[in-house]
Every structure is written in structure tokens, then in C-alpha cells.
Amino acid sequence: MAKVKKKILNYTVIFEPAKEGGFIVHVPALPGCHTQGETLDEAYKMAQDAILGCIKTLRDLKEEIPEEIEGSIIAKIPVKV
């Protein structure tokens, strides 16, 4: 039986404090991949689960799994309004 080589994918995840408490999580490289958690630890675990769910769905639909481009820069840009 052939061994299946597993690949590790890394995704940038944004944890946004929710007004009502906890965190809302966004995965920019996987459009539509969002989740939440009451604590940062819970939100992190939920993000892992959400990412796996998105990847499973993409595989089931035989669609390409997006990989994040190395060297991406995330920054806050101040804008006077």
C-alpha cells in the first residue's frame, strides 16, 4: 500500500474582537471561510476546524485549494477622513 504524503498549508488568520465579546475569525486566502470563538484559544481551534472544512469542501467539489503566497505583508494604513 502506498503512503499518502500529507502537505502542511499555512494560512493567515485575522482575529477581530466582536462587540458582544469573543472573536470573529477571517481567513483571507479562503473566501467565505469565517468562524468565531468566545476566547482567543477557542477562536484559534475553531479557525483550524473551519479551514479544514473549507479544504474538504473544495476537494469534494474538485476545485483548486488556494495556497497563500509567501511574503505577503499585512499592515494597518492610517487614512485621514
CA 48-52-55 angle, 5° bins: 140
CA dist., res. 69 & res. 71, Å (int): 6
Radius of gyration (C-alpha) of the chain in whole angstroms: 15
Per-residue pLDDT tens, the chain, 81 aa: give them: 667 778 889 999 999 999 999 999 999 999 999 999 999 999 999 999 999 999 999 999 999 999 888 888 888 899 999
pTM value?
0.83
